Amino acid sequence: MIPSPPTPRPRRRPGLRRALEWVFAGGTGALAVLSALVFVAILAVMVHNSYPTILHYGPGFITGTVWDPVTDVYTGAYPFILGTLVTSAIALLLGVPISLGIAIFLSERVRGWIATTAAAGVELLAAIPSVVYGLWAFVVLVPFMRTSVEPALHTWLGGVPGLGTLFPATHSGTDVLTAGIILSVMLIPTVSAVSRESMAQVPGAQREAALALGATHWETTRTAVLPYARTGILGAIILGLGRALGETMAVLMTIGNSDAVPTSLFSQGQSIASAIANEFTNASPKEASALVEAAVLLMGITVLVNVIARLMVRGLFRAPEVRA
Amino acid sequence: MPGTVSIRRRVTDWTTYVLCLACVVFAIGILVIIVSSSVQHALPAFQGSGVGLFTRAEPLPCSYAPGGIPCNDFGGIEPVLEGTFYLMVLASAIAIPIGVLAGVFLSEYGRNPLGRTLSFLVDVLAGVPSIVVGLFIFSVVLWWQPTIVYSVISGGLALAVIMLPVVVRTTEESLKLVPQSTREAALALGIPRYRSILQIILPNGAGALVTGALLAVARAGGESAPLLLLELQPRIGFTGWTHSIVPIPLLVYLWGFTEPNANWQADAWAAAVTLIGIMLALSLCARFLLKRRLPGSGM
């Protein structure tokens, strides 16, 4: 005998139920639209606030080299743009090989608790706030660069024709190179974690096939894993670039904050982000508008870089839709 | 058959192993160096103030104090703990409810072009540099209420904008992990969709939601760039929502970078160590929750 089901509770009126459905969907939808609109609002406000500068300078803003708060003359943000690009380039140059080494080691060469623990250790680098990186770099790294690394670089490379001008005899430790180095450390956790994730997506059969053909572990990584994970790794690098371009505090505390165009790796300079942090509070209206235009440029570059990166790593973090 | 692999290939294999291992050692070494040198620089403050470091107001070095004013060389960082607390409470109160509900929409009703567009824009928002968010909030508050440009409210708004995309995206992604069959089962029982979301789908993804919130708090709690534009520096304790306030990371910058007095610098390092401690704890919690969630989530 099947026991008879308990009498169902009387149902709510269908009209009320439909109304509640609409209120819930509409309410959450409105909040989703609001979240998305924040970006549009940021873009609109920034462009609006720098409109006088944009009209006044036009595209020349990117190439103009004079930025002088003392006489209140600004022809362009070239020094900051250069500072941003050079520090990020150094960061990628130094940080990416190390990150890839970490990713390869943790994904291909070790297993078990060593891999998990080491991965957790590397990820903890991401838990250190950027201002602490900045303070550490300012107090520990800068003197080390000034007394040891930069004199050595000058001795080794200063005499090389062409390249030598990048490593002059005068150096202070607070410069473009130091900022690039601290940025390179800061992008290691991001780049290594995302690359490792994309290597983990490579099917095991791919590796087994290479091993079965007699390849060593390194040959397996090089021929079977890296080509397969290429897009994800490139995405990881670009994601790291996005982080380096927009970083403020660590750069502000190491780059020397000079408005002149950097001429060597030992030149003091300024990135767009550090210039805003350094000068906005005391800026004249004219400078403020120019700084906001520089911010629009920075935002344009980082957003573009992030969009490209996310398109490349898409699917990595998107869980497969489980269907019954 | 060891003889079948040539020496050259074995050496290459071994060299790459060592190089990759060296990269891991380098990264973990940097972590250890940064943490240990922070602790070392903070030692004078810990020794000078003891536990009082977390309960006392900022130091007023006796070499600075004009005659008659009570001075102390070893103060504390209590005002900035307040600063971080109030800013994070405000930012979380704004960003977490909005973010979770927006994430619910994107996961449950957003599998269409509109949802994908909104999701994309939120992703883009996550890529906006924090200093630009600071400029944006500065402009908006200047236009809305010029008197509270430098206040807990403006700082909290900026941190909320930084937290928002993290909360939305982690909510969306973690709810998408709830099996479709669960949704279908709820609907088949005749439960209204909004109730199935609130009572079945959200509890299913709850662990992940908490992880997302923790990650967002960790990201905003370490942030100082936008607050450089939104908080006036002299006043550092909480005196009201419309007054300026200094959180832990901003103090690390102000006293560590711009302040020549050694006692204040030691306090900056103590603040840095406190901040690292909070961040490591948050990230370990998030990691623990994530690990616990995975086995049961049907992945």
Please check whether residue B131 is in contact with residue A248, taking contact to mean a CB–CB distance below 8 angstroms. Answer: yes
Count, residues in chain A: 324
Distance, in Å, from the CA atom of B156 to the CA atom of B160, rounded to the nearest integer, reads: 6
Chain A residues lying within 8 Å of B294, measured CB to CB: none
Question: Residue A29 half-sphere exposure, CB side, CA atoms within 13 Å?
Answer: 13
Do residue A35 and residue B164 have CB atoms under 8 angstroms apart?
yes
A269 within 8 A of A79, measured Cβ to Cβ: yes
Average pLDDT rounded to a whole number, residues B261-269: 86
Which of the residues B4, B9, B20 would you substitute to probe the A interface, choosing the one with the greatest number of A C-beta atoms within 10 Å?
B20
What sign results for the dihedral spanned by CA atoms A83, A88, A90, A91? positive
Q: Which residue has the higher pLDDT, B79 or A91?
A: A91
The answer, yes or no, to whether residue B106 has pLDDT greater than 60, is yes
Tokens 């006043």 identify what position? B235
Confidence (pLDDT) at B69? 66
Within A148-261, residue ranges assigned H as helices are 150-157, 176-200, 204-212, 217-220, 226-246, 249-252
Say if residue B289's pLDDT is above 50.
Answer: yes
Helix (H, G, I), strand (E, B) or coil at A74: strand
**pTM given for the model:** 0.89
pLDDT at A321: 37
Taking contacts as CB-CB distances below 8 angstroms, the residues of chain B near A310 are 123
Q: Which residues of B touch A21 (CB under 8 A)?
A: 192-194
Cα-to-chain-centroid distance, residue B106: 23
Q: Determine the average pLDDT of the residues in B134-143.
A: 94
Q: How far is CA B64 from CA A156, B57, B59, B60, B234, in A?
A: 46, 16, 10, 7, 15
Q: Among B126, B140, B225, whose Cβ lies nearest the Cβ of A249? A: B225
Q: Alpha-carbon distance A291 to A270, whole Å? A: 12
CATH homologous superfamily for the domain A80-313: MetI-like (1.10.3720.10)
The pLDDT assigned to B294 comes to 44
B59 touches A137 (CB < 8 A):
no
The one-character DSSP state at A322 is P
CB A82 within 8 A of CB A176: no
Q: What is the SS3 assignment for B140?
A: helix
Q: What confidence tens digit (pLDDT) does each residue in B183-224 have? A: 889 889 988 888 889 888 888 888 878 888 998 999 999 999
Chain B residues lying within 8 Å of A301, measured CB to CB = none
The backbone torsions φ and ψ at residue A308, rounded to the nearest 5 degrees and listed phi first, read -60, -45
Q: Which amino acid is at B234?
A: P
Residue type, A213: L
B71 touches chain A (CB under 8 A): no
B72: three-class secondary structure by DSSP? strand
Given a cut of 70, whether residue B268 has pLDDT beyond it is: yes
Rounded to whole angstroms, the Cα distance separating B202 from B205 reads 5
Q: What is each CA distance from A199 to A192, A226, B140, in whole angstroms?
A: 10, 7, 43
pLDDT value at position A7? 64
Size of interface A-B (CB pairs under 8 A): 288
* Residue A255 near residue A88 (C-beta atoms within 8 A): no
Tokens of residue A22, six digits = 């609409």
Contact (Cβ atoms closer than 8 angstroms) between residue A314 and residue A78: no
Lowest mean pLDDT among A18-27, B118-127, B179-188, B285-294: B285-294
Query: What pLDDT is attached to residue B296?
Result: 35
Cα distance between residue A91 and residue A94, in whole Å = 5
Straight-line distance from the first to the last Cα atom of chain B, in angstroms, rounded to the nearest whole number: 39
pLDDT on residue A9? 63
Burial of B299 (0-12, 13-18, 19+ CB in 10 A): exposed
Per residue of chain A (324 residues), what is the pLDDT tens digit?
A: 566 666 666 555 778 888 888 999 999 999 999 999 999 999 999 999 988 888 888 888 898 888 998 898 888 899 999 999 999 999 999 999 999 999 999 999 988 889 888 998 998 999 899 999 999 999 999 999 999 999 999 999 888 888 888 888 888 889 999 999 999 999 999 999 999 999 998 999 999 999 999 999 999 999 999 999 988 999 999 999 999 999 999 999 999 988 999 999 999 999 999 999 999 988 898 899 999 999 999 999 999 998 888 788 765 544 333 333
Q: Kindly report the number of other CB atoms within 10 A of residue A98's CB atom.
A: 23
pLDDT computed for residue A43 by the predictor = 94
A214 to chain B: nearest residue by CA?
Answer: B5
Predicted-complex ipTM score: 0.90
* B23-70 pLDDT tens trace: 999 999 999 999 999 999 999 888 887 777 887 777 766 666 666 666
